[in-house]
Amino acid sequence: MTTASRSRRDFLRLSAAAFGLSFAVPGLELRAADARGAERKKSLLTIWLSGGPSQLETWDPHAGTDIGGGADGVKAIQSTIPDAQIAHLYPQTAEQLHHVSVIRSLVSKEGDHERAAYMLHTGYRPEPTLVHPSIGAIATHELSDDKVEIPQFVCLGDSPFPPRGGFLGDKLDAYRIFNPGQNGQNLRPNVDTDRQQRRLKNLEVVSQSFRRGRGTLVDHTLHQHTVDAALRMMTSEQLKAFQVEEEPAAIRDAYGRLSFGTGCLVARRLLEVGVRSIEVSLNGFDSHAKNMEAHVNRAKELDPALATLFKDLADRDLLQSTVVLVIGEFGRTPKINPLGGRDHWPTGFSCLVGGGGLRSGAVLGATDPSGQKAQPETPIEVANLYATVLHTLGVDYAKEVITPIGRPMKYCAGTPINQLLPEPVST
């Protein structure tokens, strides 16, 4: 094999790897360094608790009750929201909870992990003929600008069910970084500049040959779009947002130096350079056995990272421009099973939501301390939560889009929750 052949082969392999990167249509306006508070464009940051966190061991403890685990179960501690006690596993988050609001009465009809993850990313139940976009994909699509050179929708961590672009297109699938704090694969050339340019010229020869008589097919593959976006990203100074080495040691320690804490720090850095939608995932909440042990272990990562994130965003005047959502696919049963675990419970689970101009310090809904009632007090549909988020981001949540199969579909079928909005929305 000749050197030229090897060069073409190597670069084509590099390009093929780049095809796995999903680049949003042009991203949001690059935020000036001095833009702060309400002057900044809004973004969405989702902290995804994969596996289904128990509401009873997080944001809705019923300490001392049977459903709370009795004497050996969770304890409740006071947070900085007067009406909210949370699990004792989250002392640092309790000190920062006033930045957000607590919803304790989310309801869903999906109790399977994959189906529930779909619904909690999109606000819709799965359908056989249509894939709905996640709200992060919607925000990226609707609020985009081409001045940001890195992907506009980023998923940090190894989530088994990452958010997707759905009927808005694969280009709006989240760009995945499995090991936060490190660049993704193939983002820097592994050869010198001259050789890189030769490879690009060789690739263009192959691409031109393929395009002859196949214009429509080439457009559908997004080949050139992906190559152009990859090359633009590979030369961008904004790639530094994925790296945390220049952050002070005290900040890195506060977030926690494990993958999830680093992911939260990277998320803050991505927000600063203008990324529109970010998800940071933490696995390990599927606690069918040894529920308390699982939540103790997860809290060791979640508590410092979440508390530091809330404080850091507020201190940097980023919270006003960032809607933060802390959520998983469902909650956990009030009844503890024979293995000391809790099973899937889509009826009456919890989340945290705030920032972006949303009301902070509110507590919505309540669950039954006995665990007997089928519905929580003031049940809140997932679609209504997402209508609230999209409205706050400045997106028309009821906008109707014609899908690729010719079907009209609204971005969201819910209506905003007025208790979370500074001004009520008439519906």
Terminal Cα distance for the chain, rounded: 68
Q: What is the pLDDT of residues 214-272, one digit of tens each?
A: 666 666 666 665 666 666 666 678 899 999 999 999 999 999 999 999 999 999 999 99
E strand segments, 277-372: 277-282, 322-328, 331-332, 344-345, 347-354, 363-364
Judged against a pLDDT cut of 90, whether residue 185 lies above it is answered with: no
Q: Is residue 342 part of a domain?
A: yes
- What average pLDDT does the segment 143-169 reach? 93
- What average pLDDT does the segment 351-358 reach? 98
pTM of the full structure: 0.85
Is residue 148 very low, low, confident or very high in pLDDT (cuts 50, 70, 90)? Answer: confident
Better-predicted residue by pLDDT, 8 or 319: 319
Cα-Cα-Cα-Cα torsion 89, 157, 142, 28, nearest 10 degrees, comes to 100
Whole-number Å distance between alpha carbons of 58 and 54 = 6
Instruction: Give the pLDDT confidence score for residue 4 in this predicted structure.
Output: 41
Whole-number Å distance between alpha carbons of 232 and 236 = 6
Of 338, 231, 351, nearest to 291 by C-alpha is: 338
Better-predicted residue by pLDDT, 108 or 41: 108
Question: Please, what sign has the CA dihedral across residues 122, 123, 125, 129?
Answer: negative
DSSP string, 149-208: -S-SEEEES--SS----GGG-GGGSPEEESSTBSPPTT-S-SS-HHHHHHHHHHHHHHHH
Better-predicted residue by pLDDT, 70 or 322: 322
Q: Is residue 200 part of a domain?
A: no
Judged against a pLDDT cut of 90, whether residue 198 lies above it is answered with: no
Q: Is residue 3 part of a domain?
A: no
Is residue 195 very low, low, confident or very high in pLDDT (cuts 50, 70, 90)? Answer: confident
CB 104 within 8 A of CB 79: no
Instruction: Give the pLDDT confidence score for residue 216 in this predicted structure.
Output: 66
Whole-number Å distance between alpha carbons of 217 and 213 = 9
Judged against a pLDDT cut of 70, whether residue 200 lies above it is answered with: no
Instruction: Give the pLDDT confidence score for residue 232 in this predicted structure.
Output: 61
> Domain total for the chain?
1
What average pLDDT does the structure give for the chain?
Answer: 87
Neighbours of 248 (CB within 10 A): 8
- What average pLDDT does the segment 79-96 reach? 97
CB 342 within 8 A of CB 332: yes
Instruction: Give the pLDDT confidence score for residue 369 in this predicted structure.
Output: 95
We report the CATH number of the domain holding residue 304 as 3.40.720
Residue whose token pair is 């989702």: 46
CB 206 within 8 A of CB 218: no
Q: Is residue 11 part of a domain?
A: no
- What average pLDDT does the segment 65-93 reach? 96
Instruction: Give the pLDDT confidence score for residue 222 in this predicted structure.
Output: 63
Q: Is residue 193 part of a domain?
A: no
Q: What is the pLDDT of residues 12-57, one digit of tens each?
A: 343 433 333 333 333 333 334 446 666 788 999 999 999 999 999 9
Judged against a pLDDT cut of 60, whether residue 132 lies above it is answered with: yes
- What average pLDDT does the segment 381-400 reach? 98
Is residue 181 very low, low, confident or very high in pLDDT (cuts 50, 70, 90)? Answer: confident
Instruction: Give the pLDDT confidence score for residue 412 in this predicted structure.
Output: 98
Distance, C-alpha 142 to centroid of its chain: 17
The first and second tokens of residue 146, run together, are 């081409």
Give the range of the structural domain holding residue 148, as residue numbers without chain letter.
16-188+207-420
Whole-number Å distance between alpha carbons of 179 and 108 = 31
Judged against a pLDDT cut of 50, whether residue 91 lies above it is answered with: yes
Whole-number Å distance between alpha carbons of 52 and 50 = 6
Of 347, 349, 341, nearest to 284 by C-alpha is: 341
- What average pLDDT does the segment 341-351 reach? 98
Instruction: Give the pLDDT confidence score for residue 236 in this predicted structure.
Output: 72
For the chain, percent of residues with pLDDT exceeding 70: 82
Q: Is residue 302 part of a domain?
A: yes
Q: Is residue 4 part of a domain?
A: no
Instruction: Give the pLDDT confidence score for residue 33 in this predicted structure.
Output: 40
Q: Is residue 407 part of a domain?
A: yes
CB 326 within 8 A of CB 90: no
Judged against a pLDDT cut of 90, whether residue 141 lies above it is answered with: yes
